[in-house]
Amino acid sequence: MKTGDPAMASMAPPDGEGPLVREGDRDAHGLLSLAALPAENPLLRPVRDVLEGVAGISGVGGPGGVVGTGLRAPLYVAAGTPLHEAAALMAGAGASACLVRVAGADTERDAPSSQAAGGSRSADSGPSDFQRPSDVQYPAGILTERDVVGALARHGAAAATLPVEAAMTAALVTVREDELLFEGLSRMVRHAIRRLVVVAADGAVRGLLEERDLLSAGADNPVQLVADMATAPDGTACRPLLERARRVVVRCVEQGVPARYVGRLGAELQDHLLARLTHLAVASMPLPPPAPFGMAVLGSQARREQFLAADQDAALVISEAFGDVPPEQVADYFTRLAAHLAALQAEAGVPDCPHGVVPGNPAWRMTLPQWRSDVAAMLRAPDASGVLRCSILADARGVDDGWDLVARLRALLTDMVRTAPLMLRYMAREAVRFAPPLGVFGALVVERDKAGRAGDSGGQGAAGDSRKAGGRSTGTLNLKRGGLFPLMHGVRTLTLDAGATAHDTAGRIAQLQATGVLSAARAADLGEAMDHLLGLRARAQAAALRGGAVPDDRVRPDELSGLDREQLKQCFKVVADFQDMLRRRYSLHLMT
C-alpha cells in the first residue's frame, strides 16, 4: 500500500503483483446471479458463444435463454476527441463505454452505426462485424460513463473540452474469445469492473463483454458483491458480505463449476474483503502509514485455491523507506495497525489462523530488510519451523501491494532458496511425509475407531456403524493430508528449485512441464489428480455447510459413487508415484 493512499485501489492483477487497474464503473446494469444458473452452467461455455450469438445459453445476452443478438461491437473515438463529443457519441449509440484509438489511427469508423456499442446486430451479420480494421492499432484505452462523471466532478465545466485521454483508463482488461465466460466473470471480480474487451488470438478487438451479458438479475452477484465490499463502513457490515461470498462459492460448486475456477473466484472475493478491512484499519489510525507496506496473503488464498474451510493466513511487508521516522515508531504504528485489522476481521467473521500466521504476530510483520535476514537465517540452518516458514512464504501474493513489496520478497526468497540445496531437500522430504491412504491391494484406507472399526475401505458401506461408535472422523479419509498436500507441496518445491514464477498449482505444473522438470504425461496426471481431489473436497465442504456442519478436508468413501471411489484411488496412486519421483530426485533415502 502506498503511504497515505485513502483509496487503496491496489490489488494483485491476474499475472503479477502490484496495483489493479480499476475501471470504477458501478452503474446498476442488469445484475448477475449465480443462484439462477441452470444445471448446464452457461458460464462454462466460451466467450465466442456470446460473440457469435449461440442459442441456448440461459440468461446470457438476451431474454428467454436465447442469444440472438450476440456481443455488441465496440464504439471507437479518436485520441484527442473532446470529452463532450465522446459523451455525445456514447449517448447516441446507447453505449456505456467506448474505446479510444491511438493518436494518428484511422478514424473513419468512429461515428456510431447500426452495429455500434449498445446496438444490435442484424440476424444475418457475422462475426466479422467485430474485427477491427487491420490498420487500426490496439486501443489506447477505454472511456466509460463513470469516467465522464468523474471528470466532471473533478474539473467542472472545463471537463467538456478535455481530451478523452485525460479521463480514460489506459490499461485494458481483456478476455480472449476462446476463454470461458467464467474466466470473464472471474476477471471482472478480480479487477472490480463491469466490462472486458474481448480479443481474438492475434489481439484483434472483437467486442465488449459486459456484466449484463453474463447473467440476469439476482441476489448473489459477485461483481456487485465486490462493489458492496468497497463501500462497507465497518467490520460488522462486512460479515453479511462474507456470508454472501460463501453462498457464491457454494452455488458454483453445486452447479458443477470446476474446482480450480471456484477456488480462484473464492480467493478473489476474499482478496477484496481483506483489502476493504485493511483500508478500514488504516482509516481508524490517527495518522497515515509512516512507510509504504504490502499485505501478503499466504497458503491456499495466495494460490487462489481457497474454498470454505480455510482460515486466512497473511503477513505484512513494510518498506524500509520511512525517511526520518525512527524505526521504533514505525514498528509501533504497524503493531497497532495489525491489532486494528485483527479486530475488524473478528467483527467480519473471518476465521483466525490457529497457528498465528497473521500480521498481529511480529514474526509475520517485518520490513523488507528484516524479511531478507529472516530468510537467510532459515537457509543457513534449516529446521522444521524454517522449512514450514519457507514453504508458506513461497506462496506469498500481494494484496494492497502498490509498491510490489510482496513481489520483491518472493523474488528474493526464490533466488536465495535456489542456492540452498539442503533447504530444498528438507522441503521435498515434507512432501513425502504422508503416504496416500491406500492399502496393500489398492483399497482406500479410512480412519478407525478405538475398537478397530472403520468404514469399508473398499467402499461397500460398512462405515455407517463406525460413524456412531468412533465419532465424526471415523470412516473418513483426509483428502488434504494424503493427497492435496503432498501434491501441492511437492510441486511448490520443484517450482522453487526451477525458479518458476506461477502462484497456483496448475500454473506451476504447466511451467514445470515447459521447463522439462515434469514430463507431459506426469504433468497431465498431476493436473487431473489435483482437479479431482479439489472437486471432491469442494463438494464435501459445500454439503457440510448446507447441513450446518463445519466444512473440513474429509470425505466418506462409502458416500461416494463407485466411479468417484475408483477415480480417488487413481488420484492417490498418481500422488504416490509423484512422491517416488521426489525421493529419487532429492536422494531422500540418504537423509536421516
How would DSSP label each residue in 39-93?
Answer: SS-GGGSBHHHHHTT-BT-TTSSSGGGB--S-PPPPPEE-TT-BHHHHHHHHHHH
The pairing of strands 76-77 and 174-176 is: unpaired
Do 270 and 177 share a domain, yes or no?
A: no
Q: What does the pLDDT average to over 396-407?
A: 90
Q: Are residues 244 and 176 in the same domain?
A: no
The reported pLDDT for the residue numbered 473 is 67
Residues 399 and 429 in one domain: no
Q: Which residues of 161-190 are buried (b: 16+ CB within 10 A; e: fewer)?
A: ebbbbebbbeebbbbbbebbbbbbbbbbbb
**Structural domain includes residue 417:** no
| Joined grid coordinates for residue 21 | 487497474
**What gap in Å lies between CA 560 and CA 443, rounded to an integer?**
14
Residue 220, amino acid? D
Longest dimension (CA), the chain: 83
For residue 443, give the nearest of 458, 456, 455, 429 by alpha carbon. 458
pLDDT tens, residue by residue, 18-33: 333 333 332 332 323 3
Residue 236 sits in the same domain as residue 379? yes
Half-sphere exposure of 89 (CA within 13 A, CB side): 25
Task: Determine the pLDDT at residue 71.
Answer: 64
Domain assignment present for residue 8? The answer is no
Q: Is the same domain home to 238 and 372? A: yes
Q: Both 398 and 443 in a single domain?
A: no
CA distances for 34 relative to 66, 212, 266, angstroms:
18, 13, 13
| 3-state secondary structure at position 291 | coil
Contacts 24+ apart (CB under 8 A), 559-568: 560/459, 560/536, 562/459, 564/536, 565/444, 565/459, 567/532, 568/444, 568/532, 568/533, 568/536
Q: How many CB atoms lie within 10 A of CB 547?
A: 8
382 and 475 within one domain: no
* Per-residue pLDDT reduced to its tens digit, 523-546: 999 999 999 999 999 888 888 887
- Residue at a domain's end among 370, 404, 438: 404
CB 319 within 8 A of CB 292: yes
**Residue 20 counted as domain residue:** no
Nearest-angstrom CA–CA distance, 92 and 112:
7
Angle between helices 485-498 and 421-431 (to 10 degrees): 160
- Please tell me the pTM assigned to this model: 0.74
* b/e sequence 247-261, b meaning 16+ C-beta within 10 Å: bbbbbbbbbebbbbb
Give me the pLDDT at residue 114, please.
29
How far is the C-alpha of 381 from the C-alpha of 256, rounded, in Å? 46
Tell me how far apart the alpha carbons of residues 526 and 520 are, in angstroms, rounded to a whole number: 10
Side-chain-facing half-sphere of 137: CA atoms under 13 Å? 10
Closest CA relative to residue 248, chosen from 212, 228, 217, 219 = 219
The region, left, alpha or beta by phi > 0 then psi within -120 to 50, assigned to residue 587 is left
Share of the chain above pLDDT 90, in %: 49
Strand 293-297 with 174-176, pairing: unpaired
pLDDT at 503: 87
Residue 239 phi, psi (nearest 5): -60, -50
State the pLDDT at residue 378: 94
Q: Does 334 or 187 have the greater pLDDT score?
A: 334
Closest CA to 532 of 510, 565, 579: 565
The verdict on residue 251 lying in a domain is yes
Note whether residue 428 is domain-resident: yes
With residue 100 as reference, give the H or E element that holds it: strand 97-100
Average pLDDT taken over every residue of the chain: 80
Q: How far does CA 127 lie from the centroid of its chain? A: 31
Of the CA atoms within 13 Å of residue 554, those in its CB half-sphere come to: 16
Residue 12 lies in a domain: no
CATH code for position 254: 3.30.460.10
Averaged pLDDT for residues 177-203: 86
Is 26 among the domain residues? no
Decide if pLDDT at 453 tops 80. no
Instruction: Compute the CA torsion angle 361, 367, 369, 370 (nearest 10 deg).
Output: -20
Amino acid in position 237: A
Q: What is the pLDDT at residue 208? A: 86
pLDDT score, position 105:
57
Whether residue 31 is contained in a domain is answered as no
Tell me the pLDDT tens digit for each residue of 39-50: 356 677 788 877
129 with 83, same domain: the answer is yes
What's residue 109's pLDDT? 40
Residues 197 and 237 in one domain: no
> In terms of domains, do 206 and 232 share one?
no
Number of domains in the chain: 3
Instruction: Indicate whether 469 and 570 sit together in one domain.
Output: yes
For 470-501, give the DSSP string: H-TTTT-EEHIIIIIHHHHHHHHHHHHHHT--
- Number of residues written out for the chain: 592
Q: At what angle do helices 384-393 and 368-380 cross, to 10 degrees?
A: 140
The reply to whether 435 and 367 lie within a common domain is: no
- Asked whether the predicted pLDDT for residue 459 surpasses 70, the reply is no
Given pLDDT bands bounded at 50, 70 and 90, which one contains residue 215?
A: low
pLDDT on residue 543:
86
Poorest-pLDDT segment among 231-235, 273-277, 307-311, 493-497:
307-311
Judged by DSSP in three states, 206 sits in: strand
**Better pLDDT: 523 or 200:** 523
More confident residue, 56 or 332: 332
Helix H or strand E encompassing 367: strand 365-367
Convert the pLDDT of each residue in 335-347 to its tens digit: 999 999 999 999 9
Show the domain range for 372. 222-404
Query: Mean per-residue pLDDT for 378-407?
Result: 92
Q: Which H/E stretch holds residue 190? A: helix 181-191
